Amino acid sequence: MTRIAVLGGGSWGTTLANMLSEKGLDVGLWVREQELVDEISKTGENSLFLPGVTLDSRLNVSQDQHEVMQGADYFLVAIPTQFMRQTLEGAKHLFPQSPVVICASKGVELATLKPMSAVVHESLQEKEPRYAIISGPSFAGEVSRKLPTAVSLGCLDQDLGRRVRDILSTDFFRVYANPDYKGVELGGALKNIMAIAAGISDGLEFGHDARAALITRGLVEMARLGVALGGREKTFMGLSGMGDLVLTCTGDLSRNRQVGLKLGRGMTLDEILEGSRMVAEGVKTTESVRYLAGKKSVDMPITEQVYQVLFAHKDPRTAVQDLMTRELKME
């Protein structure tokens, strides 16, 4: 039987681990907090990150990384972006040679301005990891309720990509393989910035027209940087680009959209972050991508204004006004 180790007991890691366990695979889930492990063992529920969902009784949940990772055929990592390198380096000795690492995290590392593929390879370079990235319109709360969706699986090795695709797919979770792993992972990271922007617009009650314009121009911005970093423009028109962008910019389950909504309604970033235990990846991603765009000389006006609101205390209304009054250009 295929054995899968899932690292990360947040909402997305728990959802994927449970989905694969219910599919009949041998799944271990590593959770950092012992009290959460105890609660899941006692109640069958991760009430902190995935309340209301009864987990499969066959799912092995443990704080012991060795127990979860021993003998695994695939390693699915759903760790917050800024902690990915530290976690993988700490567990490096538990990985076999040439492990298949499936990344379910979306973001760019702030300290190095590198995407998750580079972080995984640098953290496990002595192990020669084989990399895949899963991304697309997939709220954990909806996937856990078996509501239908489709996502992209980016993997340069197309044979491996098809294998991983088949393992992850269910009758409600459809996976498409795509060799452009760079485009897939960047689409999943960059759309979080645009979700904050769309949330700000909605928080200011600027209406549907403004949101649609932000989504459309946001996609252009995402593709512009993605191509500069080695991705294919076509990938951004797919599930990990346009699909995830539409979801996170319009769906109220989006943590990044919620950050934007609260900013638009007058809250400060500190107030927002203090009131949430969930990680909104777009906040740190905005910071890292703004620096990365400058380094690559890529024009990203929406990202720049979101950065100014988040980190320079710029008034959200002024930020939108500055976007609207930029020099007029050809589309």
The residues assigned a catalytic role are: 191
Alpha-carbon span 250 to 48, nearest angstrom: 24
- Crossing angle for the helix pair 181-203 and 255-264, nearest 10 degrees? 30
**Strand partners for 152:** 135, 176
Burial class (CB in 10 A: 0-12, 13-18, 19+), 122: middle
Cβ contact 182:117 at 8 Å: yes
Whether the Cβ atoms of residue 281 and residue 107 lie closer than 8 Å to each other: yes
**What value does the CA radius of gyration of the chain take, rounded to a whole number of Å?**
19
Q: Is 31 left (phi over 0), alpha (psi -120 to 50) or beta?
A: beta
Kindly give, in sequence order, each residue whose CB lies less than 8 Å from that of residue 160, ignoring residues fewer than 6 positions away. 100, 130, 132
Helix residue ranges per DSSP H, the chain: 11-22, 34-43, 65-69, 84-90, 116-123, 140-143, 158-168, 181-203, 207-228, 244-250, 255-264, 269-274, 281-296, 301-311, 316-324
d(C-alpha 6, C-alpha 74), whole Å: 8
- What is the secondary structure of 248-270 as a DSSP string? HHH-TT-HHHHHHHHHHTT--HH
